[in-house]
Every structure is written in C-alpha cells, then in structure tokens.
Structure 1
Amino acid sequence: MRTGATLTSLPALLAGLAVMAASVATAGTVAPDSVPIVDMELTQTLTDAKGNPAAGREAFADRKKGNCLACHANTDLKEQLFHGEVGPVLDGVADRWSADQLRAIVVNSKDVFGEQTIMPGFYTLKVGVNVAEENAGQTILTAQEVEDVVAYLMTLKDN
C-alpha cells in the first residue's frame, strides 16, 4: 500500500518540481501586469539577463513573433521582403529614442502613444477583445525577447 501511494505521488512531485523550476527561471522576470511605464519610459529591465541584439534582430523579423516589418521599414533587414509603411522607418531609431523609451514602446505602445495607435503591445495582457482562446493570457513576446528587441533597436543608429 505504501508503494502505491508513493507511485501516485510521483507525478504530483514531478509537477511540483516543474513549477518550482519555472519559478526559479523567471524569478528575475517582471510579470506583464506589473510593468511600470512612467512618463513614456520603462527604466526597469524586464529580466536579469542582458538583451541580445542578434536574437532581437531575429524576433524583429520573425513573422510569427515581433513581425515588426509588417509595419516598419528597416534598411538593416533589407534582405527581408515586404517592409511596411504604416509605422515610421526604424533606421536611426536609437538616435531618436532611449533604450528606456523603446522598451516602453515595445512592451505596450498604447501606454506611450495612446489607444489610437495600431501598434500592439508585445508584453501586455491588455490585448483587446476576441482573442483566440489558445492565445488568451499570453504575451506576444517573452520578457527576454523584449529585451533582445530593444538591444537590437539600440544598434540602429544613423552614424
């Protein structure tokens, strides 16, 4: 009887360990509903890890992640097809905005520009109505992907 109890407890134990591991992995991550955007800036990084510009470039161009090229043109990614014209050209964006401002814009542009902007918030749970059930309660980008995209955007200088 004792062996049976141990075996039925094993899945619960493994599930508990998985939750603990996930908590440790995200311990330094700011939750999407706790992001402090103040005066069009987000001075607190979302993770303890530094942003990776190469990973940010990939997320920026990925049509299933950032999909930034759907609205923005960017000469650095000229090899990619179909740059958008809805948003501003991002060449030299690091000369126009600080990392703190870019982080706030990527996290939730509506908190920076107002509800009228069509740019989505990439790290917010406030995404409107009629969200597909499988996407409910999720952000478009992870906290680390936001930091990576910001690191990439900071490489886009005019000089």
Structure 2
Amino acid sequence: MKRLSLTLAVSLIGSAALAAEVAPKDVQFDEDGAVAASLTGKPGDAASGAVIAGTKSLGNCVACHQLTALADVPFHGEIGPSLDGAGDRWTEAELRGLMTNAKMTFEGTMMPAFYKVDGFLRPGDAYTGKAPTEALTPILSAQEIEDVIAFIATLKEE
C-alpha cells in the first residue's frame, strides 16, 4: 500500500509539473512568432473563449475584428482582419503566438500583446509623471488565452 501511495504521489507531482502555467516572460516563440506549447497544459474552453472575445473588459476582439459568430455583440471593428474562418487560416500555435504577442509575427501591428508584462512605453512618466510604477500584469490570463484560442479555432470557412 505504501508503494502504491508513493507511486501515485510521484505521478501526481509529475502531472502537476506538466500542467504548470507558463509565465509571460517564459513564453517560447519560434522564428515566425508561433507558440507551440500550451500556456497552461490544459485545453481551452471554446464557450468561455467566446465570452472573453466579446467582453469589453476582457479580450474585446470585436473592437478591432469582424466576427459573425458574435453578431449579437455590437460595434465590430475594421482595423484587424475578419476572424471568420480564422480556424482554417492559422494553426493553434500561430493563434497562441498572435494572442500572446502579435508583434512577434507582425512587427507593426496595432494588436495588443495580451500576455506580456514588460517592454512597454510608459508615456505618463514623461508627460504627467503619473504612470504606475508597480509591475504590470497581462491583459488576459494564460487560461483565458487558451480559451480564446479554442474559440477562434472553431471558426471555420463555411
């Protein structure tokens, strides 16, 4: 019994290590800006991803992108490409790279880096002196990124 408990404990610890969340500074991009490894080690939830994509205080993808699947959310933007069919155009790794930090793929993009915590310009320091001095947190959590990726991956050409 003792041996079984020890084996189970070691196996659970190993599983927890595999499912550990990747910190924003530890994300590994390939030469094209894709991120092959999941940020959480767990699959994303497409239904939660749809909510995040359409919620103004979260991902707010519709602020810049047309997205027929979220037609009930008002005020779709036209800055970024339509996300209709995005699941056919980009791989999961490419979507993860774009969500994490799109500038790794498209240098001049206006898309925000949703999982980045450093390297930002803080214009308040130069203009008002009121920029926050504490460490920044990512716009979305690792699981929220995985959820949005799961949702976008469902958007196929019809």
Same fold by TM-score greater than 0.5: yes
Partner letter of residue 108 of structure 1?
N
Partner letter of residue 49 of structure 1?
K
* Structure 1 residues 2-151: aligned runs within 5 Å: 28-38=20-30, 39-114=32-107, 116-126=108-118, 128-130=120-122, 133=132, 136-151=135-150
Distance 1:126 1:109 in 2: 15
Residue in structure 2 matched with residue 19 of structure 1 by the alignment: none
Deviations for 1:21-63, whole angstroms, at most 9, x for unmatched residues? xxx8xx6100000100102211000002210000100111110
Distance 2:67 2:134 in 1: 28
Distance 1:53 1:112 in 2: 24
Residue in structure 1 matched with residue 3 of structure 2 by the alignment: none
Unaligned runs of 5+ in 1: 1-23
Distance 2:118 2:144 in 1: 18
The 4+ residue runs of structure 1 with deviation greater than 3 A are none
Partner letter of residue 51 of structure 1?
G
Partner letter of residue 48 of structure 2?
A
Contact 1:72 1:86 in 2 (8 A): yes
Partner letter of residue 103 of structure 2?
K
Distance 1:136 1:56 in 2: 26
Q: Provide TM-score, normalisation by structure 2.
A: 0.79
The structure number with the bigger radius of gyration is 1
Task: Give the share of equivalent positions with the same residue, in percent.
Answer: 41
Partner letter of residue 36 of structure 1?
Q
Partner letter of residue 98 of structure 1?
T
